[in-house]
Structure 1
Amino acid sequence: MIPDFVSVLRKAVGPDCLLWLPGVVAVVRDDNRRVLLQRRVAGGPWTPLSGILEPGEAPAAGVAREVEEETGVQVVVERLAAVTSSPPVRHGNGDRAQYLEIVFACRPANPDSAPRVGDDESVEVGWFALDALPPMSERMRELIALVEKDEAAAWFAPSG
């Protein structure tokens, strides 16, 4: 679902303007060393849960909201794992965007939570063993690996 504030911006600038948007990514891991993933398009690659922050929304609250909306799973946000930027993308509706990605390590609040497709953004959601991940981009594997390092300091690309 496109947030209202993005729809307002799109009316003003059109689909070809590359919008720089604040995004959050949740790498949700359970006690069985599985990660919660989503597939946004039938037959498409799997990804960690992600979404756009609403204006004024705290990033940790936003990532928890996104996971619950998309999977029904409530999470505890444990730590900031990385700050990255996505490559520019053109969405299916023609809109161009690039995302500042705030990546969080999360765990399910209830270990027995069964994920379900919670909105029209996903066609499938599920838990996957870290050593048996489904088809996904190398970039998504790298985000999961950054969380798996379990480092206290968040990762970011150095300047220069």
Structure 2
Amino acid sequence: MVACVPIPDFVVALRSKIGQVPLPLNGVIAVVLDERNRVLLVRRSDNGEWALTTGCLEPGEQPADGALREVFEETGVLVWVERLLCVEALDLSVAPNGDQVYWLAVGLRCRMVESDAGVGDDESIEVGWFDQDSVPPLPPHQARCLALALAEDAAPWIADPVWEPGSTS
């Protein structure tokens, strides 16, 4: 099952100049909880796996606005951002078309305001609310976001620094 995930116009314009080389992009991961603390997930159309709502930020777009937009576009659910969960540079990802991306992902905990949950675009084939004990396996960085969202007293997570003085990278 391979679907074409829409590519933002600004990325298409960049790709026309740089090809498929690694491109740094900013994205959001929205952990959406309802009044019963169930988790909103989407089943992705490109790989059939369940995931948190994610998306690419438009140039100049604030992460909270991007999370609100992505959740609504993909699921029809209106949310409010409650707090920051993490900021993380993800490993290089390669899209089915060969495009390479280094994502800087901002994880945000969101609370459902109004729900008419359903598939909102062609990025997913199913949308559902899951009790915490029935969440299907998620990619490690998304599982970490979910754990942080469910922990009421968790501080935002950042990776331990690996840079050392005198290194060149």
> TM-score of the superposition, structure 2-length normalised?
0.87
Does 2:138 match 1:133?
no
Equivalence for 1:8: 13
Cα distance, 1:59 vs. partner? 1.0
Distance in 2 separating the partners of 1:159 and 1:136:
25
Cα distance, 1:92 vs. partner? 1.6
Match of 2:118 among 93, 109, 116: 116
Q: Where do residues 66-81 of structure 1 align in structure 2 (5 Å cutoff)?
A: 66-81=70-85
Unaligned runs of 5+ in 1: none
Distance in 1 separating the partners of 2:122 and 2:17:
25
Q: Where do residues 6-85 of structure 1 align in structure 2 (5 Å cutoff)?
A: 6-15=11-20, 17-41=21-45, 44-85=48-89
Distance in 2 separating the partners of 1:39 and 1:124:
5
Equivalence for 2:110: 106
Cα distance, 1:96 vs. partner? 0.9
Distance in 2 separating the partners of 1:157 and 1:139:
11
Cα distance, 1:94 vs. partner? 1.6
Do the aligned partners of 2:40 and 2:128 also contact (CA within 8 Å) in 1? Answer: yes
Cα distance, 1:63 vs. partner? 0.7
Unaligned runs of 5+ in 2: 1-5, 163-169
Deviation digits for residues 83-131 of structure 1, max 9, x if unmatched? Answer: 1122211112221112100000001112xx1311101111111111111
Cα distance, 1:153 vs. partner? 3.3
User: Given the superposition, is the C-alpha separation of residues 59 and 28 from structure 1 closer, same or farther in structure 2, using an over 3 Å criterion?
Assistant: same
Do the aligned partners of 1:81 and 1:151 also contact (CA within 8 Å) in 2? Answer: no
Do the aligned partners of 2:35 and 2:112 also contact (CA within 8 Å) in 1? Answer: no
Cα distance, 1:45 vs. partner? 1.9
Amino acid at match of 1:124: E
> TM-score of the superposition, structure 1-length normalised?
0.91
Do the aligned partners of 2:87 and 2:158 also contact (CA within 8 Å) in 1? Answer: yes
Structure with larger Rg:
2
Do the aligned partners of 1:45 and 1:137 also contact (CA within 8 Å) in 2? Answer: no
Deviation digits for residues 38-93 of structure 1, max 9, x if unmatched? Answer: 12126622111010110111110111000000000010111111111222111122
How many residues matched?
157
Amino acid at match of 1:56: G
